[in-house]
Structure 1
Amino acid sequence: MTMTKLKERSLLGLKDLSRQEIESILDRAAYWEAQQEKVVPVLSTSFVANMFFENSTRTRFSFEMAEKRLGAQVLNFSAAASSVEKGESIYDTVKTLESMGIDAGVIRLKPSGVLEELAGKLTVPLINAGDGNNEHPTQALLDLFTMKRKFGTLQGLTVSIIGDISHSRVARSDLWALKKFGAEVKFCAPRSMQAPELEPYAQYVSMEEAMKSDVVMMLRVQLERHETGMLKSAEEYRAQYGLTVERAAKLSKHTLIMHPAPVNRNVEIDDAVVECEQSAIFTQMSNGVPVRMAVMERALK
């Protein structure tokens, strides 16, 4: 496969993907969502490896569901139970699977920047299932799909992303994608969780201001990344930056509540709000399957 062709079929991020390309993925996702048949075996001769060097339940199952609905042969690999534990490099592991004849790889990594490098050395398309705090393209695609379903268009929408922006690959992918469609993105975060390098693209606003948007997207507080005590306590975070029942009650009736999950209930979002009328949290999860079907088909057709 030529490098250009490979690049067109891989999905490493949305920052460099054109609006047109994103639109074609979303259109195809709508096609798959409308399919009555659970399994349409268009990829029955393709072998796909899901390579997760960082834990994930939802993303991995969502990809696996998408691949199996397209009839692909799926190999699942998780680093915890593999020779990566014994120090085998990520490159060697991926290269090994490529040598065995996989047709595409879905990959999730802790370090940022490794994916680009890997993609340059392989001859199969790679799909980014989250790399460090760089990007998480399929999550942003399913977010856009969910917003488009609700509002009909992304043009002119205001979207507030609230929480740990500095560690969030979701915030970055959503930002790059939404800007291409003429949506306005606002961030809201404690100073210790802001990402100064993103300030030219989205302004930081107060919690009160953030609540006035068409979409309020709460991010998971990544407690495991805050050993340094950025967070004094979950209670304090909830009081200042959580989507509490009180705050949710004041939202405009058309405001959509979103969250990439997993949710820390009663930290960034109150239990009672997770499945309230305006919440699309579980809708996002179901939309992830047709979106990932579109991405896998693009990689393998």
Structure 2
Amino acid sequence: MRKFRTIELREALSLRKIADSGQCFRPGEIGDGVFRFISGNEVLELRQRGDCAVEVSCDAESWDKVWRTYFDLERDYSAIQRDIFESGDTLLAEATVHGDGIRVLRQEPFEMLVSFVLSQRKSIPAIRTAVRELAEAYGEATEAPSGETVFLFPKPEVLAGSSEESLRNLGLGYRAPYVLDAARRVADGRLDLDAVRDLPDEELFAELQSVHGVGKKVANCVMLFGYGRTERVPSDVWMQRIVSEGYQGVDPLIARKHAGILQQYLFYYALTHKERFIPRKARDENRKEKRRNESCDTN
């Protein structure tokens, strides 16, 4: 049976906000306020104890060697937030307050590569399902601190030995050959995810895009969430809507320090305030449709 011990933190850490922030697809609440995170061969279960404290299932060595880096706890997010408040950007400041406790996780690069390949044209719940089913089909089973059996993310060589047909049978669709190409390139060394770790940004960006199906957005996601390159800003439909509806088409993150962290605040804010960032034309049409429906209901 797992035992928890308390970790006091310098800054806010919100397990729920992180799990819901769109940067990770396996973490989540498993009941009674307990969240589970998986990184490599490590499985952590923890629960919130105030804004700046958590109770964790791991020992001190595992926390210091694995999870402190994973949760990006050495970075001073308070200083980043002060810069935001001093910048005069009221929308970003509002998003920062709303997203306080989010930290950009340092996840496994191969998991990020495959997960964001799978993310294309999928909702977050659908991505979660696809990643979970991939792990259950090809990942190694292990015991979580709760005693439950969970599955680690598949190793590149295991996925490389699968077939496009078997991946399509998991519902990966057109993404199946992209996942297979990623696994085979990593497994045979054509893409050494450890060796590229110290490359300059643009060289790493190019290396990641050598994988079939990896474009600018996926490469930037891997750089931000797998390699901690916090200047990288993945752009998807929500970020485009934020720029269009919140900033009149002017990108607020260009040349901003830690732009990838600022992006996470804005992205999480948009996910929880969707109506505010629906394009004005569509918003007006929705309101007209609502008024028409209300009129029909009263007749």
Instruction: Please say which structure displays the higher CA radius of gyration.
Output: 2
Same fold (TM over 0.5): no
Which protein has the bigger helix share?
2
Q: TM-score range by the shorter chain?
A: under 0.3
Q: Which of the pair has the greater relative contact order for Cα pairs under 8 Å at 6+ separation?
A: 1
